Structure 1
Amino acid sequence: MAWPRARKDIALQSADVEANGFQGRILWSDGTPAPGLEAAAGAAAPAYILIHGIGVSHRYLRRLHGQLAAVAPTYSLDLPGFAATPKPGRQLSVADYGAFIAQVLKASGISSYILVGHSMGVQFAIEAALYAPGQAQRVVLMGPVVDSRHRSLRRQGLALFLDALLRESASSNWLVVSDYFRCGPRWYLTELPVMMSYPTELRLAGINVPVLVLRGSHDQVAGDDWSLRLSRVVQQGSFVEIARAGHVVQHLRPRLVADAIKSWAARPTGAS
């Protein structure tokens, strides 16, 4: 298949998806097989699956989506309760979201993939990989939370505020804030304690596939010590920093992030 050239912003098609009674959305671009088609399951390379964090949506991953879709099938997800998707009737655990992701991908005919999570999406990616270890070939953790320095709501909130104020672009702040409004405070506050209490290091230790931990060098939310430590939790861990970028590194430096991911994904299993 001839893949389209990488672009910063791409047009995405979408379809509603459901698993375990929860509803979300899957998105893809031209050149990537539509979910459910045989080509999705028969693609030569694993698909990239982009997973957003708390309160936001696929929109702040769109530039990275365009870069990765130029070389391999790429899908983004809008998870239940976020991005104006229907709100679940109860609080969802990180494991609930991981099961949702794995089941939706299986139902969509996507059987081999690389999970790429950002912020709380890192937690979702870990649980999806644990739920379907035979399907998740590799895992990318971008800006992982919650940093051991920010285990209180006050510290986490301050880190996010400083990152937005000092390190992010106007366009990334607009995407994040507008998505917060679409999500709404009720669901955000429902899931916030879930994010804060998730044992990232403990759960990551159960991953047996290659893991890349990636952060912007100016990220106020996911510090360098924390991120490097996570990369050492797993046997096949790697660590990359992208210069002059904050927490939403994939929006400000999409090409550099994609290049780092593609280079790492091309390494043989066991390389670090």
Structure 2
Amino acid sequence: MFMSRSIWEHSQTVVVDGVSCSVRTVGTGSREVVLIHGIGVSTRYFEPLAERLARTCTVHAIELPGFGAMPAPRRRLTVKEFGGIAAAVMRILGVRDAVVVGHSMGSQVASEAVRAAPELVGRLVLLAPTINDRERTAATQMMRLAQDTLRESPVANYIVISDYFRAGMRWYLKTLPSMLEHRLEDALPEIACPVTLVRGSRDPIVPADWLSRLAATGQDVTTGEIQGEPHVMMYRSPEPTARFCLGETSRVAR
């Protein structure tokens, strides 16, 4: 599957505390979904999932500062700061009772966005949540990323790698320490809304035991798995991913 045309119906640039991010929107449904991407990438790998969700929802995908087409800030941002920016964007959008979906580092950012603006969020969905507490080093994460690349589809790899080059390795490497320093297992206990954690069954970055340990730290947490998928599970399997996002399935999906 390759999205050769843009699915987004509206795009806008938002400036928060002097840094720019963009929001791409599709759909007109009353239920609102906010998508937050991971390190190095952009909203592009969310397009199949966004198109599926837009059948019944209004979908907003936030492109974080320094990624995609957005200029990099002068200094490194912490995950908490990224989350604060995402929360400010949600306030500008006027979302209410939103489903906030983060992928990879975006799951960390999403958790901080929910902590900053809990009144805007009805549900938090963390896809391939990072970082495994037993492998929290740059070297190990790079090794796991290389392993995952061998399991992704050629198209998913093309999107991810081309986005890395578009953002630039300088900003990627500047942001990586923020990702490593943040503890999702410390944020989750402070989140009161329902949380769903989802991994691909072939994801070397997010093993099943890490998902179980992470789930045990939260208040109202369910876990799920998409069979046969690696880290970027939502690109090739948007349908089961969407069902998890909307609370229509639990545990295992194919």
**TM-score (normalizing by structure 1):** 0.87
How far off its partner does 1:112 sit? 2.9
Is the strand fraction higher in 1 or 2? 2
Equivalent pair of 1:8/1:66 in contact (CA under 8 Å): no
Question: Please, which runs of 5 or more residues in structure 2 have no aligned partner?
Answer: none
Equivalent pair of 1:8/1:64 in contact (CA under 8 Å): no
Match of 1:147 among 105, 109, 132: 132
Equivalent pair of 1:14/1:27 in contact (CA under 8 Å): yes
Counterpart residue number, 1:212: 196
Counterpart residue number, 2:207: 223
Equivalenced residue count is 247
* Residue 52 of structure 1 pairs with residue 48 of structure 2: no
**1:98-145 CA-partner distances (Å, limit 9, x unpaired):** 111111111122233111000000000000000001111110011011
Counterpart residue number, 2:80: 95
Counterpart residue number, 1:128: 113
Match of 2:239 among 231, 255, 261: 255
**1:133-176 CA-partner distances (Å, limit 9, x unpaired):** 111111001101111232111111111100111x1000000000
Equivalent pair of 2:101/2:245 in contact (CA under 8 Å): no
Amino acid at match of 1:180: Y
Counterpart residue number, 1:25: 22
Q: Distance in 1 between matches of 2:248 and 2:183?
A: 26
Amino acid at match of 1:19: V
**1:39-88 CA-partner distances (Å, limit 9, x unpaired):** xxxx743x110100000000011111111111111110111010020111
Question: Please, which runs of 5 or more residues in structure 1 have no aligned partner?
Answer: 1-6, 33-42, 267-272
Counterpart residue number, 1:180: 164
Secondary structure in structure 2 of the residue aligned to 1:134: helix
Match of 2:58 among 73, 77, 102: 73
How far off its partner does 1:14 sit? 1.0
How far off its partner does 1:8 sit? 7.9
Q: Distance in 2 between matches of 1:60 and 1:262?
A: 19
Q: Distance in 2 between matches of 1:260 and 1:55?
A: 24
Equivalent pair of 1:213/1:239 in contact (CA under 8 Å): yes
Counterpart residue number, 1:38: none
**TM-score (normalizing by structure 2):** 0.93
Identity %: 37
- Map of 1:149-164 to 2, 5 A cutoff? 149-164=134-149
Q: Distance in 2 between matches of 1:265 and 1:74?
A: 20
Q: Distance in 2 between matches of 1:237 and 1:209?
A: 9
Counterpart residue number, 1:11: 7
Counterpart residue number, 1:3: none
Q: Distance in 1 between matches of 2:240 and 2:214?
A: 21
Equivalent pair of 1:94/1:198 in contact (CA under 8 Å): yes
Secondary structure in structure 2 of the residue aligned to 1:247: coil
Equivalent pair of 2:196/2:244 in contact (CA under 8 Å): no
Q: Distance in 1 between matches of 2:248 and 2:190?
A: 20
Match of 1:189 among 156, 173, 179: 173
Q: CA RMSD in A?
A: 1.7
Q: Distance in 1 between matches of 2:66 and 2:103?
A: 17
